[in-house]
Each structure stands twice: as structure tokens, then as C-alpha cells.
Amino acid sequence: MAEKGPIGVFDSGYGGLTVLKSLVKKLPNYDFLYLGDNARTPYGTRSFQTIYQYSLQAVKYLFDQGCPLIIVACNTASAKALRNIQQKDLPKIAPDRRVLGVIRPTTESIGHFTASRHIGILGTKGTIQSESYLIEINKFFPDIRVSQEICPMWVPLVENGEQDGAGADYFVQKNLDQILKADHKIDTLLLACTHYPLLIPKIKKYLPPHIKIIDQGKIVADSLAEYLHRHPEIEKRLLKSRSIKFFTTDDENTFNEKATLFYGRKTIAEKTDLNIG
Ligand code: DGL
């Protein structure tokens, strides 16, 4: 039988740590290996081809580290690269391993949160322009009206530690006003970017209290637990020694300083160049 390995979790930077936190809470016995491509973040403003190339390199790296299963904990990479990786690359490079994203589990469950059947999606340019959320939600819940809003400043604000500052007030209020102007019946707002949970205090300040804020961590964790239940052939290949390792493509000390904000605990990261040339 193939050797056992950890669950790989990949993001363009720190954002995926908000998902990892929920995964570890839900599945505490498993081993995880987190990879943040901090040297090349953000992905949200890049072209399809670039996001696909970077994401594939990250996936190959995590396979080299022995991960039988990878969670792409980045909406932008899930929207732009995942389908190609699953359909085109996986059959060639690792047909017995799996790569899952965050969009599918979110769109499968989003319909259960809204009473008005009007929801809002906030994300990066890459995620919103891909229309992945519109297409997927329409498949599962065709009765729901979806409005989308690109929030181009939210990731830079969080990356620069400005999530509690006055700049955050300005941009959060601006984007919330826009989406509520587009559809005032919205009762559910999805944070379709793994960085955005850090802005929840500001979002709550400017959002009418009846509107639910949905962040993806718990949804993705619940969905992974179900997936492992349905796929014992993958589950039995996962290590369960509660080890959690962190890799970054940029400076490890900077990663450790910033990661706590997203992960809620201290990290000890190692630097990697993804074995690229
Ligand atoms: N964390 C990424 C996401 O969920 C956004 C950050 C980026 O632009 O790289 O979409």
C-alpha cells in the first residue's frame, strides 16, 4: 500500500490559515501540511495562466511531500486553477490522489442560510470575474439571486495589518454599500476570500444586523469530514499523529510573525522554493 501522508492545505499566502484553523478543530487527529505562497501573493489580481501555473507548482510540491489529499484553501486558485488541475493534470501526475477546493462545498450549502433567497458574494477580482460562484450556486439553488462585489483593497489591508484601521472602515463600508445597493433584499453575505474573516469586526459595524455573514472555514471543514467518511480509500492513507507543519515561499520569520493573526496560534514555518528551477 502507498505510504501514508498529511493533508496538504495550500493558499496564496496567509488567508488559508483561517481555513486550516477550522480543519484542525474539526479533524484534530490528522496531520496537516500548510503551504503559503507568500513570495507570489496576491493571486487575486493575476491572469488565469499565472494562477494556474503557480497553483499547479504548489500542488506538485505538496504531492512531493507525500500528501494523498490537498485542499486548495484559496478561492482565487479554486476558481481559476482547480478544474484544470483535477481534470487535466491529476490523471497524469497522481491519479490515486485528490485535490479539493473551497467553492464546491460552499455553494452546496449556501442555500441553507438564506430565507430571502437573495445572497451577496464578496471576493477578489479573480474569483468574482471567473463567475464560478454564480455558476455553481445556480446549479444547486437556481431560485437564489446572487449579487457579487469585487473588494480589491480588502486583501492588501489585511496583508498589511490594517484590518482594524480607519482605511479598513472606508473600504469595507464602500463595498458593503455597493452590494446592498445592487440588491437590498440580501440576507446572507458570503466572504468568498480566505482573508476576509479578519475584517468581520468592521463588516459587522457597517452591515444591517439581520444580514448573516458566512465565512468558509466551518463549511469546508464539515465538508471534508463528510468526504473522508465517504472515501475510506483516501482516509486510510492519511497520517494521524496530530502533526502540523508550515511551509512558506517567503521569509519564514515574517510568516511566523503574521501567521498568528490568521491561525490564532504560533507557527514554526520552514522556507521552501517549491523546488522550481
Ligand atoms: N486568499 C485568497 C482567496 O481566498 C485571496 C488572496 C490573493 O489574492 O492571493 O481568494
CATH code for the domain in which residue 11 is found: 3.40.50.1860
Match 464578496 to its residue by C-alpha cell: 122
Question: What is the model's pLDDT at position 98?
Answer: 98
Look at residue 139 in the predicted model and tell me its pLDDT: 96
Q: Assess whether 205 and 243 both reside in one domain.
A: no
Q: How many domains is the chain partitioned into structurally?
A: 2
112: in domain: yes
- What pLDDT does residue 83 have? 95
Same domain, 231 and 201: no
Residues 259 and 133 in one domain: no
Instruction: List the catalytic residues.
Output: 74, 193
Please report how many Cα atoms fall inside a 13 Å half-sphere around the Cα of residue 252, on the Cβ side.
Answer: 11
- Specify the pLDDT at position 91: 97
Q: Based on the domain organization, do 55 and 95 belong to the same domain? A: yes
Are 158 and 78 in the same domain? no
CA distances from 72 to 8, 31, 34, 118, 246 (A): 8, 16, 10, 27, 15
**How do the pLDDT tens digits run along the chain, 277 residues long?**
568 999 999 999 999 999 999 999 999 999 999 999 999 999 988 999 999 999 999 999 999 999 999 999 999 999 999 999 999 999 999 999 999 999 999 999 999 999 999 999 999 999 999 999 999 999 999 999 999 999 999 999 998 889 999 999 999 999 999 999 999 999 999 999 999 999 999 999 999 999 999 999 999 999 999 999 999 999 999 999 999 999 999 999 999 999 999 999 999 999 999 877 5
Q: Is residue 2 part of a domain?
A: no
Question: Which of 177, 194, 215 is the endpoint of a domain?
Answer: 215
Q: Ligand 1: which atom is nearest the Cα of residue 193? A: 4
With a 6 Å cutoff on the Cβ, whether 42 touches ligand 1 is yes
Whether the model pTM is above 0.85: yes
78 lines ligand 1 (CB under 6 A): no
- Residue 179: predicted pLDDT: 98
- Domain-embedded: residue 202: yes
Task: Tell me whether residue 277 is in a domain.
Answer: no
> Does a structural domain hold residue 161?
yes
pLDDT of residue 158: 93
Find, among 205, 213, 173, the residue nearest to 189 by Cα.
213
- Ligand 1 pocket residue status of 40, Cβ below 6 Å: no
Look at residue 171 in the predicted model and tell me its pLDDT.
Answer: 98
Are 160 and 263 contained in the same domain?
no
My answer on whether omega of the bond before 208 falls inside 30° of 0, hence cis, is: no
Residue 167 counted as domain residue: yes
Among candidate residues 215, 233, 255, the one where a domain is terminated = 215
Instruction: Please say which residue of 215, 241, 263 terminates a domain.
Output: 215
**Full residue range of the structural domain in which residue 87 is found:** 7-102+218-271
How far, in Å, from the CA of 270 to the mean position of ligand 1? 21
Measured from the CA of 123, which atom of ligand 1 is nearest?
10
* Residue at grid coordinates 483535477: 86
By the 8 A CB rule, do 71 and 7 touch?
A: yes
Q: What is the pLDDT of residue 277?
A: 55
Strands 244-248 and 212-215: unpaired
In a domain, 16, yes or no: yes
